[in-house]
Amino acid sequence: MAGLMRSVRASMKRILLTGMSGVGKSTVISQLEAKGYKAIDVDDLAWSEWADSVDGEGPSPLHQGKDWVWREGRIQSLATEDVDVLIVSGCASNQARFHEQFDYIVLLSAPAAVMVERGIEKATSTANIRRRLPAVCISRKQSSRG
């Protein structure tokens, strides 16, 4: 049975697309999904969350003392996805804990000027702001409209 599981696992490919904000991870993953691949952007509140940073300061200028991390249980569950190819896109401070789950890790990059331009566009995008804000803030805002 162990041999069968190894051969099944050998035919399944798990790919992580990673890189700094603005390199095009979300664009690539949406294009792969459109082509029919099982593709998941884990830089989404369903897969990631704001957590207290180890040093108490955190890298986020928007959320003092917080760090963007992958939800460990959710990410670990990807190892059991029953697909031939699974492509995951994202970047978080705790992602190294999951590198062994992936057969390939692809580091995307872009010129600094392009990343800055994309970052400005992303920062002002309503969808991105909602995605990165804590759920509590979103629900308060929605309930105040009603």
Domains in the chain with CATH codes = 8-145 (3.40.50)
Q: What per-residue confidence (pLDDT) applies to 24?
A: 85
Q: Which residues contact 43 (CB under 8 A, 6 or more apart)?
A: 25, 26, 68, 89, 90, 91, 92, 131
- The H or E element containing residue 10 is helix 2-11
> Tens digits of per-residue pLDDT, 61-117?
566 778 889 999 999 998 888 899 999 999 998 999 999 999 999 998 888 887 677
Is pLDDT above 50 for 138?
A: no
Higher local confidence (pLDDT), 124 or 46? 46
Quote the DSSP letter at residue 23: S
- Over residues 42-71, the pLDDT tens digits come to 998 899 998 887 766 666 656 677 888 999
Identify which has the larger pLDDT, 141 or 32. 32
- Considering only residues 41 and 7, tell me which one the structure prediction assigns the higher pLDDT: 41
Q: Using CB atoms within 10 A of its CB, is residue 4 exposed (0-12), middle (13-18) or buried (19+)? A: exposed
